Amino acid sequence: MSDLVSVGLLTRVFPADVVDRAIAEAGRTELRSRSLPARVVAYFSIGMALYSDGSYEDVFAQLTDGLSWSQEWSQSWSPPSKSAIFQARARLGFEPVRDLFARVARPLAGPETPGSWLAGRRLVAIDGTCLDVADTRANADFFGRPASSRGEQSAFPQARVVALAECGTHAIFDAEIDGCSTSEIEIARRLAARLTPGMLVTADRGFYGFGLWKQAAATGADLLWRVKTNLKPTHVQTLADGSWLAQIRPSSGPNRRKTEPLRVRVVDYTIDDGRDNPEQYRLLTTITDPDEASAEDLAIAYAQRWEIENAFDELKTHQRGPRTVLRSKSPDLVLQEIWGHLCCHYAIRTLMADTAEHAGHDPDRVSFVAALRIARRSVAQGAFPPS
């Protein structure tokens, strides 16, 4: 794997010219020369995720090992203070890092990548997770606090991330961030607008609603969503593989009976895992032709939805650190920090996908922890000018 990171991973995945364009289009290009140029600060925001347990000064020291300084600049340079780095982060804001992620992040699976395709469609999953953020008044006002099990407020405010990930590679390639008081469904509506034909989007039963289903299906993407077993679509036709065609309508609302129904295919099954009462599954899909994908194929494909849970675990447990609270004290810098984490995870997953393809392996066989360790070593091998 280390052979594939002969230049710094961050600069390979996020080239300097792409960083500069993101900064310029966000209106953050500097009008005067500074000791901490915006490009360096953008890389720093990703470096904070790569070295999440390091201080500002420690992270910057790691990054400067990978900078290619001009002779004049290096002779006059001295390490910036924590205050200087904070001010530089504030000047940059979150928008350039968000836009950098949007410019670069794409699905990574090739045509032969295991666990990535069904019936010519790319398997992706949508899901959400929450991150603890620093306990400041500004963060609490912006992000909110979840209620605890005893009805009290949580110790920390939380940001909610809803993301799209490629099942075969764990690459998170699109995301939206909001406060924990905003529901996953509401945030998912913003993501659903960016679904594209050729995707098969999986989702757990917490996401289903007629409105979101209709919006997502209208993009041309195919859907494979688990729903609660008490949802009762109107039966139309039983198919040879045991699945059945049905119509769905809104379950509530003043005009629900007048709403045009949507045609779906329903797959009901249980998983025999030895328990006395095996869990029942009901899936809805827009793939109505069983010759394209059988009921069994769809059930197996839905199991790949769990890969997004693994991707979140990689980011939260291994990259960020277990039970770690994000360090930023203001909402803008929290957003910058989260987008930095998403950029960092994508860079590592790019390394893993390249390694798997190079070795002819399934990406699931490549260790995220090992890739993270190599990525941390690789940064010092990179070379990018400070401005």
Q: With a cut of 60, say whether residue 195 has pLDDT above it.
A: yes
DSSP 3-40: GGGSS-HHHHHS-HHHHHHHHHHTT---SS--SS-HHH
pLDDT of residue 150: 67
* Long-range residue pairs from 151-156, CB within 8 A, at least 24 positions apart, any chain: 156/132, 156/325
What mean pLDDT value characterizes the chain? 89
3-class DSSP assignment, residue 139: helix
pLDDT band at 378; cut points 50, 70, 90: confident
**Average pLDDT score over residue span 342-367:** 92
Q: CB neighbours of 275 closer than 8 A, spacing ≥ 6?
A: none
pLDDT of residue 379: 65
Please provide residue 8's backbone torsions phi and psi, each rounded to the nearest 5 degrees: -55, 135
Q: What is the pLDDT of residues 67-79, one digit of tens each?
A: 554 344 444 456 7
Q: What is the pLDDT of residues 57-109, one digit of tens each?
A: 888 888 776 555 434 444 445 678 899 999 999 999 999 999 999 999 999 99
User: For a pLDDT cut of 90, what percent of the chain falls above it?
Assistant: 72
Q: With a cut of 60, say whether residue 270 has pLDDT above it.
A: yes
